[in-house]
Amino acid sequence: MHAMTARHRCITTPIYYVNDRPHIGHVYTTTICDVWARFMRGLGDDVFFLTGTDEHGQKVEQSAAEKGVTPQALADENSAEFRRIMGLFDLTNDAFIRTTDPRHETQVQALVKRLMDSGDVYLGTFEGWYDAGQEEYYTETKAREVEYTSPISGKPLERATEENYYFRLSAFQDRLEALFAEQPGLVQPEARRNEVLGRLREGLQDVPISRTNFAWGIEVPDAPDHVIYVWIDALFNYITALGLGDQASDWYAQRHQYWPATVQVIGKEILWFHAVIWPALLMALGLPLPGCVYAHSFWISEGQKMSKSLGNFIDLEMLDRYVETFGRDALRYFLATQGPLGATDADFSRAQFHETYTADLVNTLGNCTSRTSAMIGKYCDGVCPADTGACAGGGVEWPEFTAARVEAATAAMERFDLAGSIAAAMSIVRQVDVFINETAPFKLAKDPANAETVGNILYRCAEALRIAACLLEAVLPQSVGNLREAWSLGDAGNQLGQACRWGQLQPGTSIAKVALFPRVEAEAVPAG
Ligand code: ME8
């Protein structure tokens, strides 16, 4: 006998800047990665889910100076806030990398040294347009396009000259073009890929990868006046966390098998770094490329860009209040089904949250599970009936119907279409509702002669709901846990495929009543 080897999968979030506190954007990206990671673990894959904090650079140095603390103290404090959100929102990351960790720093130096030795990094002089807030240089074309003003901060771009180390990005033009042609799924969604292709056609310039005007960063090897540009430092996190910069490290021993990442999830504002600079760096290092860079769009709030002055900013305190009112699962569900996965922004509105919660969780999943368990309580003494085959009406071939929905939910998750996957699972629940209404077991039960038919109907309801719940567990871990307990279902563990097969629910299992999602009045939704 030999054990099947689990497939390695790796998913990453951006590493978050510590000059700011966590908000909905960070919770969102990390949550959707968590849903995917849980689902794939459920399928039996060996998943590595990586997140962390980006702690170097001028912005952190400046924020720390304004607060009168050291950059390290600021980084420690805010990185801890980011780690706290993992517990608050049920996030199951396998590692949390910090760029001030010496294990990261020494690997970044080793990687940069390799690039210097291969000639992909060289010393040169640079003059260009610099966005100080974003720590990003603009090409002349791009600078003109934004009228020499930072589209992010609104402040004028600065003309800057520096002697810098450069990454020879221009040398990768042809290889990148070939890559995008050969691996059309590399950058998703399609709209983002087209943006990258458009900009790539303008031609690539070498990019400075060191700075001399501040000190808070990793020193360039053998050039201590230079610190490594925070973006290069940050991008490398994805491989330093797996030890790829030091084959003698523990991280390498434990984690190197997870590279290349299956999917790297980012927000659309950092697409260029991840879709162009990052692949070029990997090619220069001779490392394999990720399967997919998925750039989602943005959350706006009540129809407008989030801003502290407008008072519509969804910060951690606000999210906490949502969790208090609706539970963690409700927030996860809203983020995963209504979020900006895809090319358009999504609106976080109180009304939409309430509507989604009520329609999907209270009226559909909650109501259907409670209705089914109540009927099993009433007509079958709280014990799961057997399905003996006879069943009046309904017209659903349940084993085939659920198998098709399971396949659709799995395929959608593979494409990182979370909303599609969840919709496939919810369609099972909706079908149960229709089935109950059409077969009317509550009417049949009035005549004891129908006991067997009623049992058959209720078995099918409970079994279909159990399968839907298995598919929804990645997004609703607590509620499905509650259902498992009430219905004595045990744990699906990493056997999701097996667990989703029709007929696993054993007749005789004790089925207790459940109320998974309490109704919440519209007035109770947290306001800004
Ligand atoms: O950019 N809607 O870090 P960051 C959705 N350190 N997602 C949002 C969002 C919004 N309104 N706002 C932020 C950095 N995000 C760098 C990354 S990676 C090598 C270095 C999410 O703290 C989204 O994932 O500004 C975005 O890419 C990320 O937060 C930016 O986080």
Q: Ligand 1 mean position to 191 CA, how many Å?
A: 19
Q: Ligand 1 mean position to 13 CA, how many Å?
A: 9
Q: Which residue minimizes the CA distance to atom 30 of ligand 1? A: 16
Q: Are 127 and 139 in contact (CB under 8 A)?
A: no
DSSP 457: H
Structure confidence at residue 5 (pLDDT):
77
Spatial separation of the C-alpha atoms in residues 8 and 494, rounded to whole Å: 14
Pocket test for ligand 1, best of 58, 100, 266, 301 (most atoms within 8 A of CB): 266
CA 121 from centroid of its chain's CA atoms? 33
Got the DSSP string for 367-436? HHHHHHHHHHHHHHTTBPPP--S---S----HHHHHHHHHHHHHHHHHTT-HHHHHHHHHHHHHHHHHHH
The confidence band for 4, taking pLDDT boundaries of 50, 70 and 90, is low
Residues 6 or more apart whose CB falls under 8 angstroms from that of 168 comprise: 119, 120, 121, 122, 206, 284
First and final C-alpha spacing in the chain: 60
Q: Which atom of ligand 1 is nearest to the CA of 345?
A: 2
Structure confidence at residue 1 (pLDDT):
40
Q: Which residue minimizes the CA distance to atom 4 of ligand 1? A: 16
Q: What confidence tens digit (pLDDT) does each residue in 308-322 have?
A: 778 788 999 999 999
Q: Which residue minimizes the CA distance to atom 21 of ligand 1? A: 25
Helices (H) and strands (E) in the chain, counts: 22, 15
CA 205 from centroid of its chain's CA atoms? 32
Q: Are 375 and 383 in contact (CB under 8 A)?
A: no
Structure confidence at residue 2 (pLDDT):
47
Q: Are 325 and 524 in contact (CB under 8 A)?
A: yes
Smallest CA-to-CA distance from 163 within 209, 231, 111, 219 is with 209
The verdict on the CB of residue 270 being under 6 Å from ligand 1 is: yes
The verdict on the CB of residue 15 being under 6 Å from ligand 1 is: yes
Q: Ligand 1 mean position to 152 CA, how many Å?
A: 13
Of 54-68, 134-148, 370-384, the one with minimum mean pLDDT is: 134-148
| Mean of pLDDT values over 1-30 | 89
Structure confidence at residue 213 (pLDDT):
85
Q: Ligand 1 mean position to 190 CA, how many Å?
A: 20
| Mean of pLDDT values over 35-50 | 98
The verdict on the CB of residue 266 being under 6 Å from ligand 1 is: yes
Q: What strands, in cross-sheet order, belong to the sheet with 46-54?
A: 95-98, 46-54, 8-17, 263-267, 293-296, 187-188
Q: Are 168 and 115 in contact (CB under 8 A)?
A: no
Taking the domains of the chain in order of start, what are their residue ranges?
Answer: 351-523
The encoded tokens of residue 118 equal 């291969």
Q: Is the dihedral of CA 151, 152, 156, 162 positive or negative?
A: negative
Structure confidence at residue 528 (pLDDT):
66
Does the pLDDT value for residue 286 go beyond 90?
yes
The confidence band for 375, taking pLDDT boundaries of 50, 70 and 90, is very high
Q: Ligand 1 mean position to 17 CA, how many Å?
A: 8
Q: Determine if the peptide bond prior to 221 is cis (ω within 30°).
A: no
What 113-120 contacts at long range (C-beta under 8 Å, 24+ apart), as own/partner pairs, is: 113/221, 114/285, 115/167, 115/281, 115/284, 115/285, 116/165, 116/221, 118/284, 119/168, 120/167, 120/168, 120/171, 120/284
Does the pLDDT value for residue 217 go beyond 80?
yes
Task: Say which amino acid occupies 168.
Answer: R
Q: Which atom of ligand 1 is nearest to the CA of 300?
A: 11
The encoded tokens of residue 234 equal 């940050």
Residues 6 or more apart whose CB falls under 8 angstroms from that of 36 comprise: 11, 263, 413, 416, 418, 474
Of 123-137, 394-408, 490-504, the one with minimum mean pLDDT is: 123-137
The verdict on the CB of residue 368 being under 6 Å from ligand 1 is: no
Q: What confidence tens digit (pLDDT) does each residue in 115-168 have?
A: 999 999 999 987 889 998 887 888 888 899 999 999 888 899 999 887 889 999
Q: Which residue minimizes the CA distance to atom 28 of ligand 1? A: 267
CA-only gyration radius of the chain, Å: 26
Q: Ligand 1 mean position to 428 CA, how many Å?
A: 35
Q: Determine if the peptide bond prior to 184 is cis (ω within 30°).
A: no
Structure confidence at residue 317 (pLDDT):
93
CATH topology of domain 351-523: Isoleucyl-tRNA Synthetase; Domain 1 (1.10.730)
Residues 6 or more apart whose CB falls under 8 angstroms from that of 322 comprise: 330, 331, 353, 526
The verdict on the CB of residue 267 being under 6 Å from ligand 1 is: yes
| C-alpha angle 152-156-157 in degrees, rounded to nearest 5 | 85
Q: Ligand 1 mean position to 450 CA, how many Å?
A: 59
Residues 6 or more apart whose CB falls under 8 angstroms from that of 224 comprise: none
Q: Which atom of ligand 1 is nearest to the CA of 306?
A: 11
The verdict on the CB of residue 295 being under 6 Å from ligand 1 is: no
pTM: predicted TM-score of the whole model, two decimal places: 0.93
| Mean of pLDDT values over 283-291 | 98
